[in-house]
Amino acid sequence: MHETASLEHSLYLKKIKQRKILVKISQISLLAAFFGIWEAAAVIKLIDPFIFGQPSQMFKDMIFLAKEFNLLFHIRVTLGECILGFLISTILGTFIAMLLWWNDFLQKTLNPYLVVLNSLPKTALAPILIVWIGNNVRAVIFTAVITSIIVTVLSVLTGFNEVSKDKIKLVRTFGGTKLDVLLKVVFPASIPTIANALDINIGLSFVGVIVGEFLVAKYGLGYLISYGSQILRMSWVMTSIIILCLLAALVHRLAVALMKACLSGR
Amino acid sequence: MNNMLELVHISKNYHEASSVTQAIQDISLEVRDGELLSIVGPSGCGKSTLLSIISGLAPPSSGEIRILKQPATVGYMLQQDHLFGWRTIFQNACLGLEIQKKLTEENLSFVHQLLRQYGLAEFENRYPSCLSGGMRQRAALIRTLAVKPNILLLDEPFSALDYQTRLYVADEITSIIRLEKKTAVFVTHDISEAVAASDRVAVLTRRPAKLQAIHQIEFSPGFKPREAPEFREYFNLIWKELDIHA
């Protein structure tokens, strides 16, 4: 009986493992097929590589950009702006959510404005910011912050408001103050919500940074994209977008790791 | 026996935009030192409100609460254990001490001792998700006892547990309360739980809650409460008084 069970179990484990490998293989083949078909279509002139780019050309461009155009520097700028933007918006957004949680009157008063600001495409504000702040990196970071901060405030505030009333009552029964309630229950209970907001913020922060760089910068991947399209080097644009994809994946991985570290033990 | 706690003509109204609801109407009651008093009443009659008033969390509309033994410290146990998932069992047990800024060497070793005494020593550094329902309830009680309250208020503390666990945990928790010689007020809608656990049972009417009757519970010596011949009598008596119509 025991032996059949353990045999069954090892078969079950094997099945899971096989499935995992199959998924990985499919994912990689999908990517390979995408680039393969793209390359082939460009070689047999099904698509015009001048307009649609060509993977092999993009690879050469990447090396060229790295040598002549200081590609690594542009990547560093974009990545730095993005991380700074999302750190600021997460921390500041959480802090604003705390203020609104603390003062119910303020929360009620500001609610309609937050809702309107939330639906507004924040990138529409970028041209104004450039006039106000100047044609510089600060304007780019500011654009990244405003793109993601409203969502942070709203989602963290929702998290705060959803903390169980009984947990709050428990702290009160020990004679806890409002500050105790915030620090001992509401904030720690909302850490999963905040971690989630962090992940969404990364995406939004990238949006803000790229739009900001379109308008402002002399550096960054957004600049390369807009410059590339202006001088009709589409493969530069494509190359920059591919790098952007890789960066986004990398930062998302970092955020997930951070989230896991925050939630360990729960 | 001296009185520990007195409720003097307590009334409580709830205000809403469209109406005023009278939750509690003129309840006077005293709780003696070292006694376990339970309060039974139909669901939603205002039993929990009464506990909130005793604890000082909600002010009564009229009337007065007198705690006759100083310091007037009250410990509260809620329907669910509400152990915090992000704290270890030991950190959870210290929550009250932490809030009251009483994390002294002496108090911390008191918490260790309680955890050891009630079989949770090996779980001190584990998180609540590792514990069974009964163990969690014990941890919640230790969290309450850690601040050394004179009076314990228990608001249906077993209602979140399944029936079998509930019988066991109720016996266990009440025996801990007796061992620690605490005065306790225990709110429940479960008549058998009230009769089995307490020295006296106060019966409340439907909303607005008034005091219907109060019974001294005494069992023939040598019997466990639930097996004593008087158990059924008390149960039936209170059942009739509650006058529940589904």
Q: What is the mean pLDDT of residues B41-70?
A: 84
Q: Which two tokens stand for residue B228?
A: 């004593």
Cα–Cα distance for residue pair B53/B58, rounded to 1 Å: 5
Q: In one letter, which amino acid is A168?
A: I
Contacts of B88 in chain A (CB under 8 A): 265
Taking the CA of residue A1 and the nearest CA in chain B, the distance in Å comes to: 30
Please give the average per-residue pLDDT across B31-47, as a whole number: 85
Residue B229 burial (CB count, 10 A) = 9
The residue of chain A with its CA nearest to that of B140 is A170
Q: Which CATH number fits the domain that encloses residue B71? A: 3.40.50.300
CATH topology for A55-263? Answer: MetI-like fold (1.10.3720)
Q: pLDDT (tens digit, 9 = 90+) per residue, A177-236?
A: 999 999 999 999 998 888 888 888 888 888 999 998 888 868 888 888 888 888 888 888
**Which residue of B80, B84, B145 to mutate against A (max A Cβ within 10 Å)?**
B84
Give backbone dihedrals phi and psi of B237, rounded to 5 degrees, phi first.
-60, -50
Task: List pLDDT tens digits, range A45-73.
Answer: 888 888 888 888 888 888 888 888 888 88
Q: Which residues of B touch A (CB under 8 A)?
A: 55, 57, 74-76, 78-80, 82, 84-86, 88, 95-96, 98-100, 127, 129, 147
CB A230 within 8 A of CB A214: no
Position B138 in a domain: no
Contact (Cβ atoms closer than 8 angstroms) between residue B146 and residue B110: yes
How much is the average pLDDT of B214-224? 81
pLDDT of residue B1: 65
Q: Pick B80's closest partner by Cβ from A166, A174, A266.
A: A166
What ipTM is given for this predicted complex? 0.82
How does residue B25 score in pLDDT terms, banded at 50, 70 and 90?
Answer: confident
Q: What is the pLDDT of residue A160?
A: 93
Q: What is the pLDDT of residue B244?
A: 65
How much of chain A, in percent, has pLDDT values that exceed 70?
97
**Is B57–A172 a contact, with Cβ atoms under 8 angstroms apart?**
yes
Q: Which residue has the higher pLDDT, B175 or A168?
A: A168
Cα–Cα distance list, B125 to A197, B19, B50, B140, B232 (Å): 30, 49, 36, 15, 44
* Chain B residues inside the 8 Å CB shell of A185: 84
Q: Helix or strand or coil: residue B147?
A: coil
Which chain B residues touch A166 with a CB distance below 8 Å?
78-80, 82
Rounded-to-integer distance, Cα A257 and Cα A26, Å: 24
pLDDT of residue B175: 84
- B130 belongs to a structural domain: no
Q: Convert the pLDDT of each residue in A75-88 to its tens digit.
A: 998 999 998 998 89
In a domain, B191, yes or no: yes
Q: A166, B100: Cβ pair inside 8 Å?
A: no
| Alpha helix stretches (DSSP H) within chain B | 47-55, 89-93, 95-99, 105-117, 133-145, 163-179, 191-197, 230-242
Instruction: Indicate whether B51 belongs to any domain.
Output: yes
d(CA A190, CA B201): 41
Task: Say if residue B51's pLDDT is above 70.
Answer: yes
Residues of A in contact with B127 (CB under 8 A): 265-266
The interaxial angle of helices A221-230 and A71-102, nearest 10 deg, is 120
* pLDDT band at residue A122 using 50, 70 and 90 as cut-offs: confident
Shortest Cα–Cα distance, B87 to chain A (Å): 8
Q: Is residue B95 part of a domain?
A: no
Test A174 with B99 for CB contact under 8 angstroms. Answer: yes
Is there a domain that residue B14 lies in? yes
Whether cis (ω within 30° of 0) applies to the bond prior to A188 is no
Closest approach of A33 to chain B, Cα-based (Å): 45
pLDDT band, very low/low/confident/very high, at A2 (cuts 50, 70, 90)? low
State pTM to two decimals: 0.80
* pLDDT the model gives residue A265: 53
In the predicted model, what is the mean pLDDT of residues B37-50?
84
- pLDDT tens-digit series, residues B142-168: 898 898 888 889 888 877 777 777 887
How many independent structural domains does chain B possess?
Answer: 1
Task: Give yes or no for residue A266 having a pLDDT over 80.
Answer: no
Return the residue matching tokens 């509930």.
Answer: B166
Q: Across all residues in chain B, what is the average pLDDT? A: 85
State the residue range of the domain holding B64: 3-79+153-242
Residue A217's pLDDT is 67
Query: Domain extents for chain A?
Result: 2-47, 55-263
Environment class of residue B132 by beta-carbon count within 10 Å: exposed (0-12), middle (13-18) or buried (19+)? exposed
Q: Is residue B56 part of a domain?
A: yes
